[in-house]
Amino acid sequence: MAYKQDQFSRACDRIDAATKDNDNETFYAAMIAVFTYRMSTEGCDHARETIVQHFIESLPEILANANREAARRARVRKGEPAITRH
């Protein structure tokens, strides 16, 4: 699992580095296009449906994590301690 986590982290770092100069709207549009393209390379409809279902099920957690990180960043900007709970 450590290998996959390391591979995952490196991929995230490359995506972040490649998109740092883009505004959020451009970034999200590009990610949707890449996600769509990558899904089209899956071999069967069932695999694509499984990927989309997993993504849909992940959305509440994605939003919760984004809100928590936004709150942490706001506290840091105001000079408060950056305490986070997971």
How does pLDDT run across 9-28, given as a tens digit for each residue? 999 999 999 999 999 999 99
pLDDT at 1 over 70: no
Residue ranges making up the domain that contains 61: 42-86
Residue 24 falls inside a structural domain: no
Residue 32 lies in a domain: no
Could you report how far apart the first and last alpha carbons of the chain are, in Å?
21
DSSP-derived secondary structure for 22-76: S-HHHHHHHHHHHHHHHHHTSSSHHHHHHHHHHHHHHHHHHHHHHHHHHHHHHHH
Q: Tell me the mean pLDDT in the region 24-38.
A: 94
Residue 20 forms part of a structural domain? no
Note whether residue 31 is domain-resident.
no
Q: Say whether pLDDT at 74 is over 70.
A: yes
Confidence of residue 85 (pLDDT cuts 50, 70, 90): low
Specify if 17 maps to a domain. Answer: no
Question: Could you tell me if residue 73 is inside a domain?
Answer: yes
In sequence order, which residues have a C-beta less than 8 Å from that of residue 10 and are 6 or more positions away?
none
47 falls within a domain: yes
How many domains, the chain? 1
- The verdict on pTM exceeding 0.85 is no
Distance of alpha carbon 30 from alpha carbon 34, whole angstroms: 6
pLDDT exceeds 90 at position 52: yes
